[in-house]
Amino acid sequence: MTASMNSGTPVYNPLESMNRRFDAAVEVLGLDVQFANVLRVPDKVVMANIPVTMDDGTIQVFEGYRVVHSHHLGPSKGGIRYSMDVNLDEVKALAAWMTWKCAIVNIPYGGAKGGIKCNPRAMSKGELERLTRAYTRAMKDVFGPETDIPAPDMGTGQQEMAWIVDEYSKINGKNAWAVVTGKPIVLGGSLGRVEATGRGVMVSTRSALAKMGIKPNGATCVVQGFGNVGSISAKLISQMGVKIIAISDISGGYYNEDGIDVNAAIDFVAKSENRTLEGFPNAKNISNGELLELECTVLVPAAMEDQITPENAHKIRAKLIVEGANGPTTADADAILDAKGILVVPDILANAGGVTVSYFEWVQNRLGYYWTEERVNRRADRVMKAAFDTIYNTSEKHKVNMRLAAYVVALDKVATTLKLRGSF
């Protein structure tokens, strides 16, 4: 049972979804239970209550988390999320997913995730700066270029990363560019990092369509979510020749069977007062739920967790799902999608382009030598394509879906490292 009921609406727990797939992979691998027990739970959970003086002079206390899931492949890596939905189970699931993601794309990192329960849209820039700096001080013994390296996630971006690098550098009395990735270019950021997750989603889509024998011209795509991942995925997938027929954000869904002009939508959001698609012209208004059920070739859920559930999975009419978000499909929905013959490129593979270029940023910071955008993109595309092929081949070998294959590849690698290190 994955869902609990809250006044008639099922509530899903991403940690339970993560654990279900983890257990299935343990079985496929025949992994010794003692190693599975180490890797099922996080290494370390840090929670801080963070008091912040708000613009009106009052003091508000925010819950801040950093969960380090594993450090077996290297320093832990993962973003920081600002959202009212942040809770410990969610951060634990997201941290574990970072471990599996880094293993899949072969970068020398463990996994972590951070979160602050707050509504960044309702906070001023000053309030966000004070909150981010206070969170960095609370996590000063966790973060470090060789220990744990944060990055952006939902509700955070380059500005928050700039405050983190500044605060951490001040605490330590020296510049520490490599303590965080996703920074502005002038502060040691990498070219291509902003686009990297969406670019990886595009490469995953291209690779999957090729396996399915479907040409991009003539294919259609629906994208849920229009933040960094959704908007850039939509843009790059449309550049492949695929027609984007619907997009959405918190203001709702926008559908046009003749195609959405994605660049116009990106400009529209940038110029709109509340930074949403509200009022976007030349499209029919639909709900986020209706959007998921549209007939299309590719569906890219790039919003948040638990969007494809046993409630709606049987109504999905896409041929291919490429998961831009972390955890958009609940564990119970997997079998329903399989039975419908829908190919799913799972989150821990499809959205790994972001952390891949984060790794390139960290490498560049440590070298003090910066790459061209062309070099970043070329290397990231190569990594994503190789990871896709590995997972696809593993899924054929074990006769399992790509999600389980991704967990199998990741778990096998991390468990091997754990055994070799012999740290217990």
From 23-31, 75-83, 279-287, 395-403, span contacting ligand GLU (CB under 6 A)? 75-83
**In this chain, which of 354, 376, 407, 409 binds ligand GLU, going by CB under 6 A?**
354
Which of residues 181 and 377 has its CB atom nearest to ligand GLU in the complex? 181
Which of residues 44 and 317 has its CB atom nearest to ligand GLU in the complex? 44
3-state DSSP assignment of residue 45: strand
Which of residues 328 and 354 has its CB atom nearest to ligand GLU in the complex? 354
Q: How many residues lie near ligand GLU (CB under 6 A)?
A: 11
Backbone φ and ψ of 115, nearest 5°: -160, 145
- Least Cβ distance, residue 361 to ligand GLU (angstroms): 8
Q: Is 355 in the site for ligand GLU (CB under 6 A)?
A: yes
Backbone φ and ψ of 258, nearest 5°: -85, -5
Which of residues 153 and 195 has its CB atom nearest to ligand GLU in the complex? 153
CB under 8 Å to 401, separation ≥6 — which residues?
Answer: 334, 338, 344, 395
Helix, strand, coil percentages (3-state) for the chain, rounded to 5, are 50, 20, 30
- Beta strand pairing call for 44-53 and 59-70: antiparallel
Nearest to 189 by CA among 201, 180, 199: 180
Q: Name residues contacting ligand GLU, limited to 78-107 (CB under 6 A).
A: 78-79
Q: Name residues contacting ligand GLU, limited to 318-337 (CB under 6 A).
A: 326
From 76-84, 170-178, 291-299, 310-318, span contacting ligand GLU (CB under 6 A)? 76-84
Q: Is 151 in the site for ligand GLU (CB under 6 A)?
A: yes
Which of residues 90 and 400 has its CB atom nearest to ligand GLU in the complex? 90
Nearest to 149 by CA among 75, 74, 44, 73: 75
Cα torsion 133, 135, 138, 144 to 10°: value is -80
Active-site annotation holds for 183: no
Which of residues 22 and 362 has its CB atom nearest to ligand GLU in the complex? 362
From 236-244, 304-312, 330-338, 348-356, span contacting ligand GLU (CB under 6 A)? 348-356
From 72-80, 140-148, 384-392, 394-402, span contacting ligand GLU (CB under 6 A)? 72-80
Nearest to 129 by CA among 50, 236, 41, 233: 50
Q: Name residues contacting ligand GLU, limited to 155-214 (CB under 6 A).
A: 181
CB under 8 Å to 105, separation ≥6 — which residues?
Answer: 352, 355, 356, 383, 384, 387
DSSP 8-state assignment for residue 84: T
User: Catalytic residue positions?
Assistant: 113
Binding site for ligand GLU (CB under 6 A): 77-79, 151, 153, 181, 326, 351, 354-355, 358
